[in-house]
Each structure stands twice: as structure tokens, then as C-alpha cells.
């Protein structure tokens, strides 16, 4: 960066996507990640033969948990690539 650059130019060059706590996508990511992590943990360590017999040999807790973690990753990617547009930014 040039020595004569103004502070507004520096702010623009360093600006990163803004993730707000008030953005609904943030809460969706958190909920899917927590619930998916709990399900995957339960499916990985606490599955019984009875559970597997009920699901025709498929570990549903593990796969649903991993799917929920995948959905959380997609929402996080969406949040990261397309940040929430503030009212100030819309006027430009």
C-alpha cells in the first residue's frame, strides 16, 4: 500500500465480509452445527445393535448428523460469500 493512501482507501482494501449476529443465517449455521455434531457424536460412539436393526443396518444418527454438519457448512459458505447488505450500502 502506498504511503500517501488515505484511511478510507485503507479501510476498503482491508474490508472483509461482515457476519452479523442478527443475520438469520448465522443462527441457522450455529443450530445445524450443534445439533449435527451431537447426532454425529451419538451415532459414532453410542449406537447399539438394536438401533442398527431398526434402521436396516444403517447408522441413521451418524449420517443425519454428518448431513446436518454439511448443511451448516453450506450456510456458512453462503454467509461468507454473500454477506448481509446494510442499509448504508444499498444507497450507493
Contacts with 23 (C-beta within 8 Å, 6 or more apart), sequence order: 79, 84
Helices 60-81 and 24-45 cross at an angle (nearest 10°) of 150
Residue-number span of the structural domain to which 36 is assigned: 18-83
Those residues with Cβ within 8 angstroms of residue 41's Cβ, 6 or more apart along the chain or in another chain: 65
The reply to whether 44 falls in a domain is yes
Residue 11 lies in a domain: no
Q: Are 69 and 40 in contact (CB under 8 A)?
A: yes
Q: Is the pLDDT of residue 9 over 70?
A: no
- Quote the pLDDT of residue 39: 97
Nearest alpha-carbon partner for 24 in 79, 62, 81, 91: 79
Residue 79 has pLDDT above 80, yes or no: yes
The answer as to whether 33 is a domain residue is: yes
Please write the tens of the pLDDT for every residue from 19-60: 677 788 899 999 999 999 999 999 999 999 999 999 999 999
Q: Band of the pLDDT at 84, cuts 50, 70, 90?
A: low
pLDDT confidence band for 8 (50 / 70 / 90): low
In this prediction, residue 14 carries a pLDDT of 47
* Residue 3 in this model has a pLDDT that exceeds 90: no
Give me the number of domains the chain comprises: 1
- Bigger pLDDT: 78 or 23? 78
- Between CA 23 and CA 91 the distance in angstroms is 20
User: Would you state the cell numbers that stand for residue 83, as one nine-digit string?
Assistant: 454477506
Amino acid at each position: 500500500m502506498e504511503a500517501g493512501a488515505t484511511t478510507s482507501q485503507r479501510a476498503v482494501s482491508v474490508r472483509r465480509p461482515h457476519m452479523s449476529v442478527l443475520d438469520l443465517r448465522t443462527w441457522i449455521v450455529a443450530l445445524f452445527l450443534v445439533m449435527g455434531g451431537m447426532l454425529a457424536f451419538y451415532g459414532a460412539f453410542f449406537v447399539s445393535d438394536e438401533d442398527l436393526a431398526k434402521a436396516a443396518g444403517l447408522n441413521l444418527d451418524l449420517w443425519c448428523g454428518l448431513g446436518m454438519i454439511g448443511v451448516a457448512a453450506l450456510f456458512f459458505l453462503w454467509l461468507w460469500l454473500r454477506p448481509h447488505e446494510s442499509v448504508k450500502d444499498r444507497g450507493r
